[in-house]
């Protein structure tokens, strides 16, 4: 595998990258003098990918909801019954894995034995082992996890919010699936999903830390098992999603001390081209509209309607995106009404260019600080890579953003008719 080299003089970072003959994309980010190294091995596959056509086939495959998460759990079972976490522990590493809407990733962080830990990571992720007995055993474990999520107020307020925003898109479905859906998962289905989405041409590996790129490349070369890359894309099938929301309000009663809320806006501009530039534009808007120095934040805080839990976030993928604003409040509906009123005021009076200039500088500082954390940087790099975005291209995208771009993004995204509110209310005491 030949490594290429790229240096970003604007931020003083460099990256070595290459494509293995198996199709695996490899990225090595040397961070001289850092004590901790981090590796994340991911597949472009998440909870939304339940309907697809395998390369080389014609018929559509449908699998139960939650299978990507189930597969992540089962990857830790080894044919020799060894414990992967014990291997990492003996080598002084902390290991973990996660499944999101669009990505499954396996990772470790370590201050020593980086090459040995990387060899373990490469080995177990390429060694699927599913039997009727082990799959059945996992059903109970994941069933308990699903019931735990059902009791999680932060989880329910989020997915109730998504079910308000989306009518058809599978992002509205819970990542772990349901008790019913996981009951239909079999070893055969797990192997089918593994064979499709864990083909190395659908995967990428990022290693960041005080490492020698050529040495890491050597470990990767030795650790890649024989596999043929796909010569065509996996066809992911998503239902058509209308611009309008499914609902504008959801309410649930749970054991919470204070009402919780999540409100936000559905983004319908998903075919915009430069996703990195779009993300920066929205991040600027979030700070201008909802940041602690904003007019809205001061109004809500001084009025006793929010506390320190108030926060705004933008979630983006090529086929869906949304802004979410969450917090605790004695009157979530009044918070929502105040937000919509402020959005309408800004739509009428316009954004403040001085605020834009100040916030944009703050955002650049946030990006620079993110490069100092090997875990955050590598994880974000991988997430962006699967969207076709180069996180090291941030400087170019950042410089291209203008006040006019941000104004246009505001008009397109923050549309009251495409907003929703999800509330978790406390149980009323008699």
Least confident range from 101-110, 176-185, 387-396: namely 387-396
Do 165 and 243 form a contact (C-beta atoms < 8 A)?
A: no
Cβ neighbours for 223, distance < 8 A, ≥ 6 positions apart: 118, 119, 122, 123, 126
CATH of the domain at 123: 3.30.830.10
Same domain, 55 and 190: yes
Last residue of a domain, one of 236, 263, 281: 236
Closest CA to 109 of 405, 298, 375, 412: 375
- Give the residue among 214, 260, 247, 14 at the shortest CA–CA distance from 115: 214
The answer to the question of residue 242 being in a domain is: no
Predicted confidence (pLDDT) per residue in 60-82, tens digit? 999 999 999 999 999 998 888 88
Q: How many structural domains comprise the chain?
A: 2
Tell me, yes or no, whether 285 and 209 share the same domain: no
Within 10 Å of residue 233's Cβ, how many Cβ atoms?
A: 10
- Average confidence (pLDDT) over 229-241: 95
Same domain, 34 and 179: yes
The verdict on residue 244 lying in a domain is no
Residue 243 in any domain: the answer is no
The residue out of 212, 236, 260 marking a domain boundary is 236
Examine the domain organization and report whether 232 and 274 are in the same domain: no
Beta bridge partners of 180: none
User: Is 241 contained in some domain?
Assistant: no
DSSP state of 127: -
* Percentage of the chain modeled with pLDDT above 70: 100
Specify the 3-state DSSP secondary structure of 282: helix
What is the average pLDDT across 363-384?
A: 94
Q: 333 and 226 in one domain?
A: no
Q: Which pLDDT score is estimated for 57? A: 95
- Residues 114, 186, single domain; the answer is yes
Each residue of 300-329: pLDDT tens digit?
A: 999 999 999 999 999 999 999 999 999 999
Cα–Cα dist 257/262, whole Å: 16
The confidence score (pLDDT) of residue 430 equals 62
Contact 64, 74 (CB under 8 A): no
Q: Which two tokens stand for residue 217?
A: 């490349």
**Cα–Cα distance between 394 and 278 in angstroms, integer?**
11
* pLDDT value, residue 79: 85
Residues 245 and 247: their CA atoms lie apart, in Å, by: 5
Task: Answer whether residue 372 is part of any domain.
Answer: yes
The model's pTM is 0.94
Return the exposure string of 168-187: e unless at least 16 CB atoms fall within 10 Å of the residue's CB, then b: ebbbbbbbbbeeebbeebeb
State the residue range of the domain holding 392: 249-426
Q: Are residues 276 and 159 in the same domain?
A: no
> Catalytic residues, which ones?
72
Residues 279 and 176 in one domain: no
Helix/strand/coil for 322:
strand
- Mean pLDDT over residues 175-203, rounded? 97
């Amino acid at each position: 595998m030949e490594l290429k080299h790229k240096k970003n003089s604007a931020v003083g970072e460099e990256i070595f990258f290459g494509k293995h003959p198996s199709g695996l994309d490899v990225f090595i980010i040397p961070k001289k003098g850092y004590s901790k190294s981090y590796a994340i091995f991911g597949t472009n596959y998440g909870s939304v990918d339940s309907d697809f056509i395998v390369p080389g086939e014609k018929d559509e495959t449908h699998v139960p909801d939650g299978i990507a998460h189930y597969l992540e759990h089962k990857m830790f079972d080894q044919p020799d019954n060894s414990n992967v976490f014990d291997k990492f522990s003996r080598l002084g590493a902390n290991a973990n894995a996660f499944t999101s809407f669009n990505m499954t990733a396996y990772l470790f962080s370590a201050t020593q034995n980086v090459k040995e830990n990387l060899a373990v990571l490469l080995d177990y992720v390429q060694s699927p082992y599913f039997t009727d007995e082990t799959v059945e055993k996992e059903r109970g474990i994941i069933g308990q996890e699903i019931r735990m999520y059902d009791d999680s107020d932060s989880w329910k307020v989020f997915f109730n919010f998504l079910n308000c925003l989306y009518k058809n898109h599978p992002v509205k479905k819970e990542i772990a699936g349901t008790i019913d859906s996981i009951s239909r998962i079999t070893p055969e289905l797990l192997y089918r999903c593994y064979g499709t989405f864990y083909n190395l041409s659908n995967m990428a590996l990022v290693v960041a830390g005080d490492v020698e790129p050529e040495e890491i490349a050597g470990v990767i070369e030795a650790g890649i098992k024989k596999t043929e890359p796909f010569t065509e894309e996996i066809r992911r099938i998503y239902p058509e999603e209308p611009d309008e929301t499914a609902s504008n309000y959801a309410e649930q009663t749970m054991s919470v001390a204070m009402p919780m809320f999540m409100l936000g806006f559905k983004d319908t501009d998903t075919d915009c081209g430069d996703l990195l530039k779009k993300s920066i534009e929205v991040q600027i808007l979030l700070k201008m509209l909802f940041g602690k120095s904003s007019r809205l934040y001061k109004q809500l805080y001084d009025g006793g309607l929010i506390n320190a839990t108030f926060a705004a976030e933008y979630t983006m993928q090529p086929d869906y995106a949304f802004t979410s604003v969450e917090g605790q409040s004695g009157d979530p509906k009044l918070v929502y009404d105040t937000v919509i009123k402020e959005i309408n005021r800004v739509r009428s009076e316009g954004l403040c260019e001085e605020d834009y200039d100040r916030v944009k500088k703050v955002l650049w500082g946030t990006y620079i600080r993110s490069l100092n954390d090997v875990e955050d940087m590598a994880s974000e790099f991988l997430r962006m890579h699967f969207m076709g975005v180069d996180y090291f291209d941030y400087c170019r995208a950042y410089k291209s953003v203008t006040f006019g771009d941000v104004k246009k993004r505001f008009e397109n995204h923050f549309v009251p008719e495409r907003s929703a509110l999800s509330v978790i209310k406390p149980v009323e005491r008699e």
